[in-house]
């Protein structure tokens, strides 16, 4: 009934059942459906709602034997929100409703406590004004301060009944001043207004923002719970508190909590007074404490999860106001899971289900020391978890020069590009002022496990000047900066960092996950270090090794440019090949051919070493190598060649040098594309420049042979062709690859098994997967690019810009780059799976987009029957747990 009654409403009902009605204050719940209807009608109540509320309140009056507003023995109620999922502090609440100038006297008499009655009434007028009419809290605080000053006291509790009575009058006056009308004395009217206010609090800014951050749909609405008030502020025998069934930070199996004697619940939450812990409560209210501990155990056993409860002790009697699954940090979640199994509370799948897999990477990365206090300079988007500090550098080159082993540096840039990747490796962390969670900086940083904060738009970064300014403060290169990629915080203080180890409990949880899960988990890795790290985290192979990442790096840059220019010249030569060329043309052809082959030969050597390193790190496991998939323009940026030519002119280059530079610039210009994402990429490159793939294939085969000869267990080589749209493309390029493999194997006299598959990353490929599967040993769904093409979204261009606007306006629940868009992109993956298996039942199916590390997406991939997911190294443990959680269990 949670959808209809909200979490709290359902909970109250359930608690009454478990603990007995006497432990839970009586009340009733107005459904979320009513809220949605009211919201859609712009606040208008549907016919019948008012009558139903009247019926329910009358029944409550009956069961409690008190009347709302009764001057003799008034029924007081709380009016609280209660959404399907908890949104702590986001929605509004009115307490002590039912008090007016008449009933306050009845309350005083029944409680035998005039001060309590006036304090309650004072609180009600304050909350009603604040919640129902949005009157600023300060107005009331000022009045309290004035009252205290007038009486020369310091604490609220020092105000006596008379003072509180005066204060209540003052609050009523504030109400009239602000709203132009009297505070309603009719409790029915109070109730109606309060319910309406709770409905409308669903739409307040902080609630909308909270939903956006927590991916809660706007259309859910909140329920409203009307419940008899119980009072923790009825003197010495009373109190209020919150309690966790276990330690909420560590997960240790000892209840913890906060208690305030003679106080209402909001005093505990607001932090106005210093709370006591449960041991202290035991001293003050031993009986209630004992009951509470018993009940905590009962609730945990019932809900089979760590609970977070609110309770009140009214004149010695314990009431439970709320219980819910306790939010907990990763270490507590893991500890609870392990203990719960040991205690027989849960079985392993059940215990795993209590863990939020997404949070687990906090257990792998350095973090700010828990007790560290520091001033936040600015905030950005938490893009890659972990904390890092170091001297500011503004360029990748500087990072390489100063960073690495020699010095801790943080790479600070407006945004990053492919050619900055070497700088990532040398830096401890990355900070950008632009971009979102799927920007280049975020993707690469997550892949490499580097802490990263992006989109810190308050930062004004002037790379040329070597300065970053924020709010008038200017930082120069070399100054210390500290970032927390788990929270987005940026500071200039030297915050102490702690590096957690994979705890025993975490190892146990991961072992269970491995027992249970059906999906294999591989990693995306482009170098031996990442591969080794991922393997230590449990990766069962590489699902995506992007060879273009190997083409970057200062030592290769010139060579790679040279190779692509030569390739293009080579292509043009062959396209226009004359049947009987003259001598000059023949000579030129020889030069072009030689230039291309020379560049390829040097790259082949480097690639071979790259692959050998990766193969060693993954020996015995499958390694999927994607052949080159560059957007050409990243390798041949026009700006670079313009600058080269200018520089050459500046230093008085010889005419033939200038000619050559001009020629290169022209080629780069001609190769520039309006939409590189949809241009000469992937396998299209192999059709235009076949020798490039041939070179890569040779390097792979040679590397496998080297590892085998060195006595290592060779990996299971899977060669992946990117950006296939047509089965005929795959057929053609597969032939090319097979030819190159056969040639290389016969040359070096070593052969090993290999398979050839394709990346499914275009909608067309998914639609004709049946045809493509006839030529493929495996499919790997490239859901990043598939998302871009299926939805027509260039991640770089739109993510920072309007995905945010879309989520804010409720058009999107979440970014399709974070969690797979099931009805759209997911449907394509499903069609691809069905099509592929229909013609090739043996085909191996995986996913290598970022979604491979997202728990919600992993659940989907398990459901549609993929064989494995592949994700960045630091997400491997998360994926292992998520894959286990995806397996249905009772």
Q: What residues are labeled active site?
A: 440, 848
Residue 350's alpha-carbon distances to 353, 512, 513, in angstroms, are 5, 11, 11
Instruction: Tell me whether residue 426 or residue 762 sits nearer to a second copy (CB atom).
Output: 762
Which of 831, 718, 734, 835 shows the shortest CA–CA distance to 775?
734
Instruction: Tell me whether residue 76 or residue 829 sits nearer to a second copy (CB atom).
Output: 829
Smallest separation, CB 831 to a second copy (Å): 9
Instruction: Tell me whether residue 301 or residue 809 sits nearer to a second copy (CB atom).
Output: 809
Smallest separation, CB 682 to a second copy (Å): 8
Smallest separation, CB 824 to a second copy (Å): 4
The most distant pair of C-alpha atoms in the chain lies apart, rounded to whole Å, by 117
Instruction: Tell me whether residue 98 or residue 221 sits nearer to a second copy (CB atom).
Output: 221
Smallest separation, CB 828 to a second copy (Å): 7
Question: Cβ contacts of residue 19 below 8 Å, gap of 6+?
Answer: 295, 298, 299, 320
Instruction: Tell me whether residue 214 or residue 728 sits nearer to a second copy (CB atom).
Output: 728
Backbone φ, ψ for residue 623 (5° rounding): -130, 115
Contact 222, 35 (CB under 8 A): yes
Token pair of 770, please?
Answer: 């049946």
Give the up-direction half-sphere exposure of residue 685: CA atoms within 13 A in the CB hemisphere: 27
**Residues interacting with a second copy, by CB under 8 A?**
575, 673-681, 684, 687-688, 723, 725-726, 728-729, 732, 761-764, 767-768, 771, 785, 788-794, 796-798, 801-802, 805-806, 809-812, 821, 823-825, 827-828
Smallest separation, CB 721 to a second copy (Å): 13
Instruction: Tell me whether residue 295 or residue 725 sits nearer to a second copy (CB atom).
Output: 725
Beta-carbon neighbour count of residue 532 at 10 Å? 18
Residue 315's alpha-carbon distances to 105, 111, 161, 602, 804, in angstroms, are 19, 10, 20, 85, 50
d(CA 623, CA 547) in angstroms, rounded, equals 12
Helix (H, G, I), strand (E, B) or coil at 782: coil
Smallest separation, CB 219 to a second copy (Å): 10
Instruction: Tell me whether residue 267 or residue 420 sits nearer to a second copy (CB atom).
Output: 420
Instruction: Tell me whether residue 29 or residue 130 sits nearer to a second copy (CB atom).
Output: 130
Question: Which helix H or strand E contains 257, and what residues bound it?
Answer: strand 256-261
Smallest separation, CB 439 to a second copy (Å): 11
What dihedral do alpha carbons 430, 431, 435, 439 form, nearest 10°? 10
Q: What is the DSSP secondary-structure string of 132-149?
A: HH---HHHHHHHHHHHHH
Instruction: Tell me whether residue 535 or residue 775 sits nearer to a second copy (CB atom).
Output: 775
Smallest separation, CB 793 to a second copy (Å): 6
d(CA 532, CA 633) in angstroms, rounded, equals 32
**Burial state string for 139-149 with b = 16 or more CB within 10 A and e = fewer than 16:** bbeebbeebbe
Contact 608, 702 (CB under 8 A): yes
Token pair of 637, please?
Answer: 């940026």
Contact 309, 243 (CB under 8 A): yes
Burial (0-12, 13-18, 19+ Cβ within 10 Å), 836 = buried
Beta strands in 747-817 (DSSP E): 754-760, 778-781
Question: Cβ contacts of residue 674 below 8 Å, gap of 6+?
Answer: none
Smallest separation, CB 571 to a second copy (Å): 9
Instruction: Tell me whether residue 136 or residue 146 sits nearer to a second copy (CB atom).
Output: 136
d(CA 208, CA 55) in angstroms, rounded, equals 32
Smallest separation, CB 809 to a second copy (Å): 7
Question: Cβ contacts of residue 796 below 8 Å, gap of 6+?
Answer: 435, 439, 440
Token pair of 727, please?
Answer: 């089965």
Smallest separation, CB 459 to a second copy (Å): 15
Instruction: Tell me whether residue 478 or residue 810 sits nearer to a second copy (CB atom).
Output: 810
Question: Which helix H or strand E contains 513, and what residues bound it?
Answer: helix 504-516
């Amino acid at each position: 009934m949670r959808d209809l009654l909200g979490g709290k409403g359902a909970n109250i009902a359930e608690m009454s059942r478990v603990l007995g009605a006497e432990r839970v204050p009586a009340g009733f719940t107005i459904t979320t459906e009513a809220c949605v209807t009211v919201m859609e009608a712009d606040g208008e109540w549907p016919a019948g709602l008012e009558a139903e509320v009247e019926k329910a309140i009358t029944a409550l009056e009956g069961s409690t034997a008190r009347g709302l507003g009764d001057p003799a023995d008034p029924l007081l109620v709380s009016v609280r929100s209660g959404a399907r999922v908890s949104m702590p502090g986001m929605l509004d609440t009115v307490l002590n409703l039912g008090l007016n100038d008449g009933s306050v006297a009845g309350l005083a008499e029944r409680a035998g406590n005039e001060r309590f009655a006036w304090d309650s009434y004072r609180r009600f007028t304050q909350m009603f004004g604040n919640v129902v009419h949005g009157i600023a809290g300060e107005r009331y605080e000022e009045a309290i301060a004035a009252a205290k000053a007038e009486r020369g006291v310091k604490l609220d509790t020092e105000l006596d009944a008379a003072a509180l009575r005066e204060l209540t009058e003052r609050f009523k006056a504030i109400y009239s001043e602000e709203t132009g009308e009297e505070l309603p004395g009719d409790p029915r009217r109070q109730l109606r207004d309060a319910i309406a206010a709770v409905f409308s609090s669903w739409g307040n800014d902080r609630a909308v923002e909270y939903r956006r951050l927590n991916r809660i749909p706007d259309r859910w609405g909140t329920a409203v719970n009307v419940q008899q008030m119980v009072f923790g502020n009825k003197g010495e025998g009373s109190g209020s508190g919150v309690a966790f069934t276990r330690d909420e930070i560590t997960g240790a199996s000892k209840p913890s909590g906060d208690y305030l004697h003679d106080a209402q619940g909001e005093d505990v939450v607001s932090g106005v007074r210093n709370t006591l812990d449960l041991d202290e409560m035991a001293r003050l209210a031993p009986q209630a404490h004992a009951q509470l501990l018993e009940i905590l155990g009962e609730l945990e056993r019932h809900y089979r999860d760590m609970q977070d409860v609110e309770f009140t002790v009214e004149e010695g009697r314990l009431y439970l106001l709320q219980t819910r699954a306790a939010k907990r940090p990763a270490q507590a979640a893991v500890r609870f899971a392990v203990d719960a199994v040991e205690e027989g509370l849960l079985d392993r799948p059940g215990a795993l289900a209590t863990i939020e897999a997404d949070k687990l990477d906090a257990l792998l990365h350095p973090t700010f020391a828990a007790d560290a206090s520091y001033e936040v300079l600015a905030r950005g988007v938490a893009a890659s978890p972990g904390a890092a500090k170091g001297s500011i550098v503004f360029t990748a080159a500087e990072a390489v020069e100063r960073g690495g082993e020699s010095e801790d540096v943080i790479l600070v840039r407006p945004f990053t590009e492919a050619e900055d990747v070497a700088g990532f490796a040398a830096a401890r962390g990355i900070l950008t002022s632009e971009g979102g969670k799927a920007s280049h900086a975020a993707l690469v940083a997550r892949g490499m496990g580097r802490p990263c904060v992006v989109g810190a738009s308050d930062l004004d970064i002037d790379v040329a000047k070597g300065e970053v300014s924020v709010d008038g403060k200017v930082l120069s290169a070399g100054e210390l900066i500290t970032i927390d990629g788990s929270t987005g915080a940026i500071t200039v203080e030297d915050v102490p960092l702690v590096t957690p180890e994979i705890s025993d409990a975490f190892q146990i949880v991961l072992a269970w996950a491995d027992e249970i899960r059906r999906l294999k988990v591989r990693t995306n890795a482009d170098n031996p270090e990442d591969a080794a790290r991922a393997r230590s985290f449990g990766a069962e192979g590489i699902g995506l090794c992007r060879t273009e990442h190997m083409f970057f790096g200062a030592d290769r840059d010139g060579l790679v440019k040279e190779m692509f220019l030569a390739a293009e010249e080579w292509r043009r030569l062959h396209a226009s090949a004359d049947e009987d060329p003259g001598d000059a043309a023949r000579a030129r052809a020889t030069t072009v051919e030689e230039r291309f082959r020379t560049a390829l030969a040097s790259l082949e050597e480097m690639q071979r070493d790259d692959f050998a390193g990766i193969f060693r790190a993954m020996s015995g496991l499958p390694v999927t190598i994607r052949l080159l998939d560059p957007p050409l323009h990243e390798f041949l940026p026009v700006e670079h060649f313009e600058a080269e030519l200018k520089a050459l002119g500046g230093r008085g280059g010889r005419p033939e040098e200038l000619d050559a530079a001009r020629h290169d610039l022209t080629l780069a210009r001609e190769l520039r594309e309006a939409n590189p994402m949809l241009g000469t990429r992937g396998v299209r490159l192999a059709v235009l420049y076949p020798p490039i793939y041939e070179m890569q294939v040779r390097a792979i085969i040679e590397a496998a042979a080297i590892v085998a000869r060195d006595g290592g267990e060779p990996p299971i080589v899977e060669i992946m062709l990117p950006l296939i749209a047509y089965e005929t493309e795959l057929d053609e390029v597969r032939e090319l690859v097979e030819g190159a493999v056969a040639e290389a194997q016969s040359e070096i006299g070593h052969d090993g098994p290999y398979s050839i598959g394709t990346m499914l990353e275009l909608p067309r490929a998914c639609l004709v997967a049946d045809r493509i599967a006839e030529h493929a040993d495996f499919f790997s769904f490239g859901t990043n690019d598939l998302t871009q093409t299926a939805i027509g979204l260039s991640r770089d261009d739109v993510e920072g810009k309007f995905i945010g606007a879309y989520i804010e306006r409720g058009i999107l629940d979440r970014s399709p780059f974070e969690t797979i868009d099931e009805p759209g992109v997911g449907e394509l993956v499903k069609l691809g799976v069905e099509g592929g298996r229909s013609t090739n039942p043996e085909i191996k199916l995986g996913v290598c987009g970022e979604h491979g590390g997202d728990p919600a997406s992993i659940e989907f991939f398990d459901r549609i029957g993929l064989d494995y997911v592949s994700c960045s190294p630091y997400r491997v443990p998360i994926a292992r747990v998520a894959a286990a959680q995806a397996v249905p269990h009772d």
